[in-house]
Amino acid sequence: MNILTIEHLTRVYGTGPTAVTALDDVSFTVDAGEFVVIVGSSGSGKSTLMHLMGGVDRPTSGTVRLQGQDIFARSDEELAVFRRREVGLVYQFYNLIPVLDVVENMTLPVLMDGRAVNEDRLASLIQTLGLTGREHHLPNQLSGGQQQRVAIGRALMNAPAVILADEPTGNLDTKNSAEIMALLRSSNRQLKQTLIVITHDEDIALMADRVIAIEDGRIVRDERRA
Ligand SMILES: Nc1ncnc2c1ncn2[C@@H]1O[C@H](COP(=O)(O)OP(=O)(O)O)[C@@H](O)[C@H]1O
Ligand SMILES: [Mg+2]
For domain 2-224, the CATH architecture is 3-Layer(aba) Sandwich (3.40)
Which atom of ligand 1 is least distant from the CA of 51? 17
Task: For 123-142, give one letter per residue: b (16+ CB within 10 A) or e.
Answer: eebbebbebeebeebbbeeb
Domain edges within the chain: 2-224
pLDDT of residue 203: 87
**Strand, helix or coil for residue 218:** strand
**Strand, helix or coil for residue 146:** helix
48 lines ligand 1 (CB under 6 A): yes
Distance from CA of residue 17 to its chain's centroid?
32
pLDDT of residue 95: 95
50 lines ligand 1 (CB under 6 A): no
pLDDT of residue 201: 87
Helices (H), the chain: 46-53, 76-85, 102-112, 119-128, 144-156, 174-190, 202-207
Whether the per-residue pLDDT at 117 is higher than 90: the answer is yes
Q: How confident is the model at residue 67 (pLDDT cuts 50, 70, 90)?
A: very high
CB of 168 within 8 A of CB of 89?
Answer: no
CB atoms within 5 A of ion ligand 2 belong to 47
199 lines ligand 1 (CB under 6 A): no
Q: Note the ligand closest to the C-alpha atom of 165.
A: 2
Which helix (H) or strand (E) segment is 6 a member of?
Answer: strand 2-13
pLDDT of residue 6: 98
Q: Which residue's C-alpha comes closest to atom 27 of ligand 1?
A: 43
93 lines ligand 1 (CB under 6 A): no
pLDDT of residue 200: 86
State pLDDT tens for residues 169-215: 999 999 999 999 999 999 999 888 999 999 988 889 999 999 999 99
Whether the per-residue pLDDT at 226 is higher than 90: the answer is no
Give the residue-averaged pLDDT of 81-102: 95
